Amino acid sequence: MVAKRKQKQRIILPPELPPEVSEDEIEVSDEDKDFVDQNREYAGFLSTLDTQSITKHVTRVADVKEDALEALYEKRLKRKSLHKEKEDPGVQVDRVDALPVKTLDGQLYYRTATKASKASENDPTEEEASGAADKSIVKLTKAERRAKLKKSKKEAKKQGKEAEPEVEQTPQEAVLAEVKEDLTTEEAFESKKNKLAELGIALLADPASNIKSLKEILQICKDNNHAIVKLGLLSLLAVFKDLIPGYRIRLPTEKELEMKVSKDVKKMRLYESTLLSVYKAYLQKLAALEKQSSFQHVAFRCICTLLDAAPHFNYRESLLGVVIRNIGSPDDVVRKLCCSSIKSLFTNEGKHGGEATVEAVRLIADHVKAHNCQLHPDSVEVFLSLSFDEDLGRAARNDEKHKPQSKKSKKKKHYEEARQLKENDKKRSRQELLTKTREEVAADYKAVALAPDVMERRGMQTEALSAVFETYFRILKHTMQSSASRSEANASLSTGATEPHPLLAPCLKGLGKFSHLIDMDFMGDLINYLKKLASGGSDSENTSKCLTVSERLRCCIVAFKVMKSNLDALNVDLQDFFVQLYNIILEYRPGRDQGEVLAEALKIMLCEDRQHDMQKAAAFVKRLATFSLCSGSAESMAALVTLKHLLLKNVKCRNLLENDAGGGSVSGSVAKYHPYASDPNLSGALASVLWELNLLTQHYHPAVSSMASSISSMNTAHNQVYLSTISPQQAFTDFSLERPESFKPPSDIKKSNNKRKRGSDPSVSAVIEPSADTTSIDEDDVRKKLSAHFMLLRDIKENQRLRAELDGTTSSIQLYEEYKQQKKKAKKPKMKKSRTLLTVK
């Protein structure tokens, strides 16, 4: 009975409980609740659990008193220790450490010691062994047991590897291993790609809650695989283009951080700070990768796209610095990306309000200055995309007129009111409060208003324009100095080497476009610069060697554009530019120089509504006719169109079409024609005849021949007061070699009986409808003729080669025969001597 009672009183302890978790850390989200509600069939076992039995089994320890519970634990530990001592009688509990030791984990253990034998006192090795045994007897914690188990497993693996004999891999096994490695790398690549896609989609779906995913994508960009890095950079680019707000982020100050704010404000601050920090790290990564050749194109694509998409956002200065530093890069892809981003920055000023334009123009000006004007032309040609509003000044003046009161008048009124209200302090304070609130409201309205302030825009525009003209004048000055120094060097060394001027052509284009915005104080200096560059003054020969024909023609064009835009304000003689054009026409070479520049010069200087002197007009008519004989079809057509325009405007110059024995009927001040005269007024062209037109009527191009024939028949029609409807530029573009469809050689020209309408130009009809007067060529016939021609050339070359070989063989034969004859002559005296010796014997 006593044993049964003891069994009934025996308490079975519950298993160890899991680690306690505070209720604050347990979070049950709405998504979890929704999931359980939707999937009740999977969570049904929770409803069938017997919670009462579980709680009873766990909480029945509460019925036992604390002292009884501690005694129970101590008894259990004593039984375990006694059981161990029975198994190992050498181990006993030390009386000094009889009480248990409690670890940090909450476990109790007894420190034990072994009985030292008498032999161990004499042998130190036995003492060490016993010490080791003592240490092993000490009970280890869970962490120490795990570390010990891992160490033992590693040692076992090492011993197993050492014991196994090395087996040489067969070629098949090596190939299989390589294939496995490739498969693993491909799988890793695909997994990283999928992770990038998932992170990007999650960011775009809910940026506020997934903003920390930006750091993960940036971490993937540090991978060793170049393809993964490029994908990561492009993924971040797409995400930033979508996430960047339409304002600059200002981080809160220390005082603002100390203030108590709502949860929404905290969330917004966290979002903005994370976005800005990752954006900064991303830009630093791009700046580091743009110096590496393998990532250069991707890095510049990301930088230029960010600058184009968000020029208003933070760190715009660093983006502009990288782009403008590489705007003249030798790499075509990088240079085009940078130039296109700067051009879009200039054209889309609504994104940044014009501030980025001023910064970019100032940086380009400094870049040109630092490189001493030796850059790619595209680095300055971007200025042509700028647009300046001329109505800003007028709007500012109108606003000033319509302003009700200025600041000074407001102050005066305020002081008067203060004097009047000295007696009543309350009224004065109320008036001051009203004025202060009005000023604050006006400032807030100005800050929130979408329309930019006129005065601010005008200030930014003048700053940008001054930087542009500063760059242009620096390029002109550098060109003058380099040409002067080069001319001195050429004179001393008598060498023809010239220093290139890559920025002169875009500089002249820009001056021609913005000539109406140049200050009048600089107009005279600009015209003098252009005269020196076009002619060179006293050193014209040296300067002409330094500048190309196209550059000198552009100088003349810019001078005429400046004069045209400021016709009322300037009084400058342009005779020097006509002299230079007269001389440059003969220096032009079709393959070397730009024909469209020559056509533009002919249009602006000769075809515009300007009355020319008769001697000068005749000189240009004669010079253009001579030029048409020795140039291509496009240049000849542009020259003939200009020639016809001059003849139509100057009726007396048509006397050059007369075929007199002594020249034209009107000789002018110079009685004889001087074809090599440098001044058109001193050439005496009125004393000559346009015999070149007779040759041009036989030109291979049908349009040129028809134009020449129409010009030669102008003298018979007395009432032609109309002008040509085609310009030299249009004629050059229509008949340039880049458009092969413009050339259709004639076979049989059909004479049309239709009368031409008054005011129509026969040359224009030939230009517009060349297919009406010409027929298609038989390609087979042309191919046969060309093959026969080249066969003949080949036969001639082969004949020349055979003749050279024949001459060589005949000369060698002659030398051999001469050698034989000399040998025979040398043998004859020897034979005579031998005969005499025989006779003596």
Give me the residues paired with residue 114 across strands: 91
Identify which of 669, 734, 680 has the alpha carbon closest to the alpha carbon of residue 704: 734
How far apart (Å, rounded) are the C-alpha atoms in residues 444 and 436? 12
Half-sphere exposure of 476 (CA within 13 A, CB side): 25
The one-letter amino acid at 491 = A
* pLDDT at 132 > cutoff 60: no
Identify which of 640, 600, 634 has the alpha carbon closest to the alpha carbon of residue 736: 634
CB 697 within 8 A of CB 634: no
pLDDT of residue 122: 45
Q: Enumerate the domain spans of the chain.
A: 573-662+670-735
pLDDT, one tens digit per residue, over 1-24 is 545 454 545 555 556 666 666 666
pLDDT of residue 71: 72
pLDDT, one tens digit per residue, over 700-730 is 888 889 999 988 887 655 444 444 568 888 8
Comparing 331 with 520, the larger pLDDT belongs to 331
pLDDT of residue 11: 55
If you average pLDDT over every residue of the chain, what do you get?
75
pLDDT of residue 326: 92
Report percent pLDDT > 70 for the chain.
66
The string of DSSP letters for 651-669 reads: GGGGGGGS--TTS-S---S
User: What is the per-residue burial (b if ≥16 Cβ within 10 Å, else e) of 642-654?
Assistant: bbbbbbbbbeebb
pLDDT band at 775, cuts 50/70/90? very low
In the numeric block, which tokens belong to residue 109? 């253990």
**112: helix, coil or strand?**
strand
The string of DSSP letters for 478-534 reads: HHHHHHHHHHHHHHHH--------TTHHHHHHHHHHSGGGS-GGGHHHHHHHHHHHH
**352: helix, coil or strand?**
coil
pLDDT, one tens digit per residue, over 20-52 is 666 666 777 777 778 878 877 776 677 777 777
In the numeric block, which tokens belong to residue 482? 């380099």
The residue behind tokens 């009700």 is 404
pLDDT, one tens digit per residue, over 653-710 is 888 888 664 455 455 667 788 888 888 888 888 888 888 888 888 888 888 899 999 8
How far apart (Å, rounded) are the C-alpha atoms in residues 254 and 836? 135
Identify which of 501, 509, 591 has the alpha carbon closest to the alpha carbon of residue 545: 501
pLDDT, one tens digit per residue, over 505-563 is 899 999 888 888 887 777 878 888 888 888 754 444 554 557 888 889 999 998 888 88
Q: What is the pTM of this model?
A: 0.61
How far apart (Å, rounded) are the C-alpha atoms in residues 774 and 411? 84
How far apart (Å, rounded) are the C-alpha atoms in residues 626 and 624? 5
